[in-house]
């Protein structure tokens, strides 16, 4: 049986919800494209989150990992292209620490590209009516730390494993406290994750379609 690990992150920065975890936890145990989805929550603690992710992978032995994270202010589901080896925290994490200009992995490569079929995922999400785009910056906070930590683990210890990171907008009830900010309904996000899983399992060589940005 194929297993897909879906991770979300605990609430942070004064929020009581995190859309990434709300979607992930509702998919725990779901069957998608012949695979069983397993959900795990990751902390918003930069110094610990990679270790928690690695343990989740060891515990579940997945064939595919899709990590979700909140990106308040973004208007669509953002499939991240690249993780960079730097932490430059704009705000403290949930343990009050705020690393600045530190590596995620000392001595690690400057960056890693996602091993998910990012262009195919965007294509299929749009076809399913879910707003989506390729993003070339996962930030320099906890989400990028997760993405880089996952990518480094795959590159150095689990080369057969595929995985990547996806940023998602606020939920509507969160955007109500951030006037003017976009949001995405939880039901739409959940369906979007199912599409990501199905496409990632079906597509091993990504499609070549335009998805870049001018800035």
Tell me if residue 15 is catalytic: no
What whole-number distance in Å separates Cα of residue 140 and Cα of residue 71? Answer: 12
Q: Which of 143, 173, 177, 209 is catalytic?
A: 143
Beta bridge partners of 163: 65
Those residues whose C-beta lies under 8 Å from the C-beta of residue 213, and which sit 6 or more positions away, are: 134, 136
Q: Which of 22, 67, 152, 167 is catalytic?
A: 167
Q: Which of 80, 173, 178, 191 is catalytic?
A: 80
Q: Are strands 77-80 and 64-70 parallel, antiparallel or unpaired?
A: unpaired
Instruction: Note the helical H segments in the chain.
Output: 19-26, 49-60, 118-127, 142-156, 172-175, 186-202
Tell me if residue 143 is catalytic: yes
What whole-number distance in Å separates Cα of residue 211 and Cα of residue 81? Answer: 10
3's enclosing H/E stretch is strand 2-9
Q: Which of the residues are catalytic? A: 80, 143, 167
């Amino acid at each position: 049986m194929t297993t897909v690990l879906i991770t979300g992150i605990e609430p942070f920065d004064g929020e009581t919800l995190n859309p990434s975890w709300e979607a992930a936890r509702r998919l725990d145990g779901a069957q998608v494209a012949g695979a069983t989805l397993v959900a795990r929550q990751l902390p918003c603690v930069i110094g610990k989150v990679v270790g928690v992710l690695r343990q989740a992978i060891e515990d579940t032995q997945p064939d595919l990992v899709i990590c979700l994270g909140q990106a308040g202010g973004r208007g669509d589901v953002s499939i991240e292209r690249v993780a960079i080896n730097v932490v430059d925290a704009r705000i403290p994490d949930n343990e009050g620490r705020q690393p600045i200009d530190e590596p995620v992995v000392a001595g690690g490569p400057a960056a890693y590209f996602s091993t998910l079929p990012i262009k195919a995922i965007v294509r299929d999400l749009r076809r399913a009516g879910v707003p989506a785009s390729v993003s070339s910056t996962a930030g320099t906070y906890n989400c990028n730390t997760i993405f880089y930590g996952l990518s480094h683990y795959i590159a150095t210890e689990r080369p057969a494993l595929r995985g990547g990171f996806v940023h998602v907008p606020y939920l509507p009830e969160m955007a109500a406290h951030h006037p003017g900010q976009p949001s995405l309904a939880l039901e739409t996000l959940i369906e979007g994750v199912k599409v990501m899983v199905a496409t990632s399992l079906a597509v091993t060589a990504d499609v070549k379609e335009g998805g870049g940005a001018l800035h």
